[in-house]
Amino acid sequence: MNAFQMAAKTLWRRRVRSLLTIGGVAFAVAVLVSLFAFDAGYREALQKDIDRMGYQVLVTAKGCPYEAATLMLKGGGGMRYMEQAVYDKIVGDERVQEIAQQLVVTVFSDSDGEGPGSISMYVGVDDAYRRLKPWLTFRSGGWFSSDDADEAVMGYEAAELEQRAVGDEIYASNIDRTFKVVGILERTGSQDDGMVFVPLRTAQKAFGYEGQISGIGIRLKDLAQMSAFEEDLYDEPGIQVISLAQVKGTILNLMSSARMLAGSIAAVALIVAVIGVVNTILMSVFERTKQIGMMKALGASRLDVFRIIWLETTLICLLGGVVGAALAAVGGRVAEHVVRGLLPYSPGGTLVSISPPLVVASIVGAVITGLVAGVYPAWRAATLRPVEAIRRAES
């Protein structure tokens, strides 16, 4: 019987204690894997959300800049409004590659007697919006026939929710206005999916915001000009300039505090698990003092004993690492659902991204932990003298 078989057999004999120890290691590994997976997934999803907006700079009315950015990212209501003259001043800047103005308004849409109706997010835009987001494509229909038509282009999810098709009419009862659906967009995975787009001039007249807009999206020709461009707009009264790269950095900085706290908890859990592993193996050594003494009396070397005990520790941590990685993978969706419920803003896409390299790294880390944790118990067993070990066991 080789050292590996002896180690596995010993663990099986004390399977309840072994399973509890493996469970402690698995819990610590699952927490660590979930934490790193969330960090990677959140960063990637946030970057995709920002990229889908199509611009790097957002100009809004004065207020909380990060609240405004979040509202624009998620398409929320409660927007502040500014004069359209601000757009007229910026549009001619030679540093601007693309620029689009928009008016975001929350509207109650009647269901024409077939239901209770719904709250919809209407966005007044012009042709520049499509240039800023060239990836927008139509599932059916097309764009507005004119810049002051009573027409609507619906995002994929908005059309699915309200069961609308090209040619249908949407009645906004709170403004007594009807819009004809002329186009339905393909799914984009962004805030555009839940929007109802109407011509900007139509939106300004229909909703009582003539000469006003809620935001201006800007894409620059050269990102190196970002700081100078923002600096030139700071003195403009009544507006604020938000760099979406800055918003990303701020959100991630706010997340770092929670991540450090969770990381500390995970580290404590890992330390407790390691202590549990050492305790389990030491108890096993003390219980097998006579057996170890007999093995050495029959010719087993210190290295043989050390290898057997060391393998026991490594096997426990290896199994704990595999089980922990599996738990993190299975529970990732549940963790993502909980996170979305707790965070004030969560980007679209997968928030908990468990990649194969992360799984492999977690298992390798667990094995290394086992190798380190097993040194002392293995050394303690290897240094037992045969005669003393047998006498101690019999006393």
Q: Which residues pair with 105 in a beta bridge?
A: 122
50-62 per-position pLDDT tens digit:
666 667 788 888 7
Task: Name the band, by pLDDT with cuts 50, 70 and 90, for residue 125.
Answer: very high
Q: How far is the C-alpha of 77 from the C-alpha of 188, rounded, in Å?
A: 20
311-352 per-position pLDDT tens digit:
888 888 888 889 988 888 887 777 777 766 666 556 666 777
Residue 88: is its pLDDT beyond 60?
A: yes
Cβ atoms of 279 and 287 within 8 Å: the answer is no
Query: What does each C-alpha distance from 1 to 4, 317, 373 come to in angstroms?
Result: 8, 22, 25
pTM: 0.58
What pLDDT does 248 receive?
67
Region of 211 on the Ramachandran plot (φ > 0 left; ψ -120 to 50 alpha; else beta): left
Nearest Cα residue to 136 out of 204, 62, 53: 53
